[in-house]
Structure formats: structure tokens, C-alpha cells
């Protein structure tokens, strides 16, 4: 299938027209002519702060969508279009289809995929470190299980970022420098840097990231020093289990402040944006309903919170569907999806 590409030169406004024998030739032309714009397109996606990456390749979808939208807007400004010469007509739909195919073609190999995904993983981790703070409280509401964790306020603690007296913190893992070390030390950079096998997923091979992201593309890890220096207890590579547990006990015995249940959930709002893009927001339950919720365990707190939200929505004449710990809210009479409440999390912690 033969194609023609037409566009307008930005400086002269002269119309240009070049014919190509096949789709790959069109892609080569776009890749050569718009190299800088393509780089900017793949850099346009702004990831949310995140401290763990169970599947970093899941970022590929939003990166591709952002790159496509960015590149299409740039080319639309130049009147760029791709024409099927067999039909002798310009089709906006064809241009969109081939541009989307081009963007996907840019990341169809593992090295290119890591080239674009790697920086966004590191950017998300940098934001996590910048926006996170140390918090401490009791696991499962059990005062015999004190824990400290670094993370975003109202977000659930990730095991990677937890320091506790539990055996899991002290289990031996193979660190990135090839030595056996305690898990908490490997997580907090005392074994040569971030433990990407734990940050990503300890069940899958992370060599592709070590090889391509940090070696081939020369990307640098975020600095973990601010996390270490801001920890409410002094942590060092030489700390034994007994020393660390003593520091934790000392912190909790000296802490002055109110300890209470903190509960949060993820709310997806489908009704606020004109472009119909859902808005996701992590919300602290205590900010809105805390005084009405009772319970002695995380499960009790969450179940009572879900019931309360459902009652509030129904009292506002909205339709509510409960699916386990997921609430879907619909607006009558057309039953349009208005909001979803899910990913509830509760923990007992000290409030400053």
C-alpha cells in the first residue's frame, strides 16, 4: 500500500508532499523529521509518586497514550496528514491510526521499552521520596507490633519501606551487591543502593532494568539519603537486631501525641471533568467521617466505614452497588457511574 505525507512548513507555510512505498517508510520519515518532538512526546507523561513497582511495564500504556496525544497535537498544528494513495483522499482516521501504530512501534523492543519506562519509574520513585514522610503506629492495631514506615500520608505502608521488630525485617536476602544481608538494610540502601528485586517484585528477574536502565542508558537512582537522615530513629548499616528493636521501643515510649485509627480509601470520580477523564484521589476517611466510625481492628473499621459511605450515598438519592470492599455509586435516572470507592486501608498511628 502506497502512502503520501502532507504537511505545512512552520516557517514558510508552504505545503509539502512526499510519497512512500509502504508504512515502514512513513515511520522512518516521521522518526527522522520529528526526532526532538518524539523525545518530548515520550517525556510528556508525568507519573504519580510511587514507592514500589510490582509491574513497571504497566506504565507502558499511559506513556504510549500521553506520547500519542502529544505528538498528534504537534503534527495537527502543521496540518500533517497521511494519505492512502489508492483512495486518493485524506483520512483523519487513517492518520490517527498510523500515528498510534508509530508510537507503539517506537517501544516494540525491550531496550526501547526500558528506555522510556525506566526514567518514569525513577521519576515516580523520586517523587515518592520527595513527598513521603516517616510515620509510626501499630500493625493491625496490635500494640505489641510497633512499626515505622516511610510513605505518602494516607497511603498504605509498603513492606519495602517498613522498619519493625517483626522477623520479616531481619530475614536474609541476596542484596544487589551479591551479599546476604538483612532485608531492612537492603531496602534502605545499606547494601549498595536500592534493592530493585524487592522494589519491583522479588519473584521476577530484574536484570533487564539493571542492564538497560542503569548501564546502557546511564540513568541514576534517586538519592535515598534524605529518607535515612529524616528517620525518627538513627539507622545505620551496623545496627544489630537487638539495637534496632531497642531504638524502636525507645521511640514509642518517648512519643507524645494522640494515637488513633487512620483510614483512607481511593476515590475515582467520574463526574468532575468536562472531558470525562476519571479523577483518582486518595482520601483520608478521618477528614470527612472519622467521628462516626467505631471499631477495634482494621477489618471492623473498614467494614463500618463502607457501610457508612453506602448509607450517606443512599440518603442523597444515589444508587449504590456493594461488591465486597468496593462501592460503586450511580446517579439516577440513567444510572450513570458517578464514583467508585475502593482500596480501603486502616492503621493505628500517632498523629502529630
Nearest residue to 23 via CA among 106, 108, 101, 76: 101
Structural domain containing residue 267: 258-351
Instruction: Verify that 69 and 113 share a domain, yes or no.
Output: yes
Residue 8 and residue 111 share a domain: yes
List residues bridging with 19 in a β-sheet. Answer: 4
Q: Each residue of 335-352: pLDDT tens digit?
A: 888 899 999 988 888 876
Q: Which of 128, 163, 182 is the last residue of a domain?
A: 128
Q: Which residue has the higher pLDDT, 293 or 6?
A: 6
Domain co-membership, 116 together with 139:
no
193 pLDDT higher than 50: yes
Q: Within 13 Å of residue 83, how many CA atoms lie on the same side as its CB? A: 16
Average pLDDT rounded to a whole number, residues 105-133:
85
* pLDDT tens-place string over residues 66-90: 999 999 999 998 889 888 887 755 5
Query: Which pLDDT band, with edges at 50, 70 and 90, does 156 fall under?
Result: confident
pLDDT, tens digit, 9 for 90 and up, residues 266-304:
999 987 655 567 888 888 876 555 566 777 788 888 898
Asked which of 226, 254, 282 is the last residue of a domain, the reply is: 254
Residue with cell 504519580: 48
Mark whether 174 and 221 lie in a shared domain.
yes
In this predicted structure, the answer to whether residue 128 has a pLDDT above a threshold of 60 is: yes
Note the pLDDT of residue 271. Answer: 77
> Do both 250 and 271 map to the same domain?
no
Check: CB of residue 138 under 8 Å from CB of residue 152. no
Confidence of residue 164 (pLDDT cuts 50, 70, 90): very high
The Cα–Cα gap between 111 and 259 comes to 48
- pLDDT value for 326: 94
**Under 8 Å between Cβ of 113 and 105:** no
- Do residues 264 and 242 share a domain? no
Environment class of 165 (CB within 10 Å of its CB; exposed 0-12, middle 13-18, buried 19+): middle
89 conformational bin, left if phi > 0, alpha if psi -120 to 50, beta if neither: beta
Find the mean pLDDT for residues 141-149: 89
Same-domain check for residues 10 and 101: yes
pLDDT for 207 beyond 90: no
- Quote the pLDDT of residue 210: 60
> Which tens digits make up the pLDDT trace of 29-47?
999 999 999 999 999 999 9
Q: Are 271 and 179 in a shared domain?
A: no
**Is pLDDT at 52 greater than 50 in this prediction?**
yes
Query: Angle, to 10 degrees, between the axis of helix 60-77 and the axis of helix 35-43?
Result: 140
Taking all residues of the chain, what is their mean pLDDT, rounded to a whole number?
85
- Do residue 78 and residue 152 come from a single domain? no
Yes or no: say if 112 and 106 are a contact pair by the CB < 8 Å rule: yes
With 80 as the cut, is the pLDDT of residue 111 above it?
no
Indicate if the pLDDT at residue 212 is higher than 70: no
- pLDDT tops 50 at residue 101: yes
Question: What pLDDT is recorded for position 109?
Answer: 64
Tell how far CA 257 is from the center of its chain: 32
Res 102: pLDDT: 94
Q: What is the DSSP-derived secondary structure letter of residue 277?
A: -
Regarding whether 67 and 108 lie in a shared domain, the answer is yes
Number of domains in the chain: 3
Q: End of a domain among 196, 222, 254?
A: 254
More confident residue, 289 or 157: 157
Report the pLDDT value the prediction gives residue 44, as an integer from 0 to 100: 94
Do 157 and 196 share a domain, yes or no?
yes
From the list 233, 224, 289, 290, the residue with the least C-alpha distance to 260 is 290
Read off the pLDDT band of 202 (50, 70, 90): very low
pLDDT of 151 reads 95
Same domain, 116 and 23: yes
Amino acid at each position: 500500500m502506497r502512502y503520501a505525507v502532507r504537511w505545512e512548513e512552520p516557517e514558510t507555510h508552504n505545503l509539502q508532499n512526499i510519497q512512500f512505498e509502504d508504512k515502514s517508510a512513513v515511520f522512518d520519515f516521521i522518526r527522522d523529521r520529528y526526532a526532538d518532538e518524539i523525545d518530548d512526546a515520550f517525556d510528556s507523561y508525568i507519573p504519580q509518586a510511587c514507592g514500589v513497582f510490582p509491574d513497571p511495564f504497566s506504565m507502558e500504556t499511559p506513556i504510549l497514550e500521553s506520547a500519542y496525544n502529544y505528538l498528534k497535537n504537534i503534527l495537527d498544528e502543521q496540518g500533517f496528514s497521511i494519505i492512502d494513495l489508492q483512495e486518493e483522499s485524506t483520512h483523519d482516521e487513517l492518520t490517527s491510526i498510523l500515528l498510534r501504530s508509530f508510537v507503539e512501534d517506537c517501544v516494540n523492543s525491550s531496550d526501547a521499552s526500558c528506555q522510556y519506562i525506566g526514567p518514569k519509574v525513577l521519576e515516580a520513585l523520586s517523587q515518592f521520596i520527595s513527598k513521603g514522610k516517616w510515620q509510626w503506629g501499630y500493625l493491625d492495631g496490635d500494640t505489641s507490633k510497633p512499626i515505622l514506615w516511610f510513605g505518602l500520608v494516607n497511603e498504605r505502608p509498603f513492606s519495602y519501606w517498613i522498619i519493625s521488630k517483626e522477623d520479616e525485617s531481619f530475614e536474609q536476602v541476596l542484596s544487589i551487591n551479591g551479599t546476604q544481608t538483612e532485608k531492612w538494610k537492603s531496602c534502605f540502601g545499606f547494601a549498595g543502593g536500592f534493592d530493585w528485586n524487592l522494589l519491583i517484585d522479588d519473584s521476577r528477574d530484574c536484570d533487564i532494568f539493571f542492564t538497560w536502565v542503569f548501564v546502557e542508558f546511564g540513568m541514576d537512582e534517586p538519592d535515598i539519603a534524605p529518607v535515612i537522615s529524616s528517620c525518627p530513629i538513627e539507622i545505620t548499616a551496623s545496627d544489630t537486631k537487638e539495637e534496632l528493636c531497642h531504638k524502636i521501643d525507645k521511640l514509642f515510649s518517648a512519643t507524645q501525641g494522640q494515637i488513633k485509627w487512620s483510614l483512607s480509601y481511593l476515590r475515582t470520580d467520574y463526574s468532575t471533568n468536562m472531558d470525562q477523564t476519571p479523577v483518582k484521589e486518595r482520601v483520608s476517611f478521618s477528614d470527612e467521617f472519622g467521628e462516626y466510625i467505631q471499631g477495634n481492628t482494621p477489618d471492623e473499621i473498614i467494614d463500618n466505614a463502607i457501610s457508612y459511605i453506602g448509607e450517606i450515598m443512599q440518603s442523597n438519592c444515589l444508587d449504590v452497588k456493594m461488591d465486597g470492599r468496593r462501592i460503586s455509586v450511580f446517579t439516577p435516572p440513567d444510572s450513570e457511574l458517578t464514583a467508585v470507592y475502593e482500596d480501603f486501608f486502616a492503621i493505628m498511628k500517632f498523629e502529630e
